[in-house]
Amino acid sequence: MDTARSSFAWLICVVIFSLTVPLAIGATSNTIQGEYELLDEPSKHEKGKVILFEFADFYCPHCHMFEKIVVTKLAEEFGDEFEARLIGFPVMPGKLPTAFEMYEQAVTMGKGPEMKDALFGAIHGKKIEVFDKTIRRLLLEKLELDVEEFEKGLASGVPYRTLEKGKAWGERIKVTHTPTIVIDGNIRVANLTEENLKTIIQSILEQDKHS
């Protein structure tokens, strides 16, 4: 009899759990407005700040335009409550990974956004596709980065490993094109209009204020 009661109680618990958990998940997702898809990935959210992870290829013209127009406007709109982090995800054939490694090394030296802008500008504005040491030196001097320190970091292999780690993440969540946007590590956005992204970001920030 005790065994029967225990089995029945266990069954009731399972039924209650199965009914309540989806509702809880739905309630959480519904607090964020806009068009998006929740991924089965851990959140990288920092309270009071929304992080936009952009899987991008420096050689992709769509990435350049998205960065130049949409990301710039979002940064102006939300200021310190917004951060854009580029995740190098090469999709254009026949290109060396040097630009991506340069970006990752610049990030470690505190000049990630500046290097990102310089690389997009060089590739799409000046049509530079190969970043040899001479070209690198010109960019580094313009960004006031120590050339010797930069080259040493580049040669260490750390930037390349960071690039590979980002690519692995993109492959895990099935990134197939650039730009692909994931907000706070687990909110994938297909509708990349400024309006939709602003709605999502504002909704998350409002949620932070009331939590």
Nearest Cα neighbor of 167 from 1, 33, 56 is 56
Tell whether 60 and 104 lie within a shared domain.
yes
Enclosing H/E stretch for 84? strand 82-88
Tell whether 19 and 41 lie within a shared domain.
no
Q: What is the pLDDT of residue 211?
A: 80
Tell whether 10 and 89 lie within a shared domain.
no
Q: Which regions in the chain score pLDDT beneath 70?
A: 1-30
Tell whether 5 and 97 lie within a shared domain.
no
- Please list, in sequence order, all residues whose beta carbon lies within 8 angstroms of the beta carbon of residue 110, skipping any fewer than 6 positions away: none
Quote the distance between the C-alpha of residue 109 and its chain's center. Answer: 19
Range of the domain at 13: 1-30
% the chain with pLDDT above 70: 86
Tell whether 25 and 51 lie within a shared domain.
no
Tell whether 174 and 105 lie within a shared domain.
yes
86-98 residue pLDDT tens: 999 999 999 999 9
Tell whether 89 and 141 lie within a shared domain.
yes
d(CA 176, CA 169): 12
- Confidence (pTM): 0.83
Q: What is the total count of domains within the chain?
A: 2
CATH number for 57: 3.40.30.10
Tell whether 100 and 161 lie within a shared domain.
yes
Tell whether 96 and 9 lie within a shared domain.
no
Tell whether 24 and 80 lie within a shared domain.
no
- 178 close to 184: Cβ distance less than 8 angstroms: no
Tell whether 23 and 98 lie within a shared domain.
no
Q: What is the pLDDT of residue 30?
A: 54
Tell whether 143 and 185 lie within a shared domain.
yes
20-58 residue pLDDT tens: 333 223 224 558 999 999 999 999 999 999 999 999 999
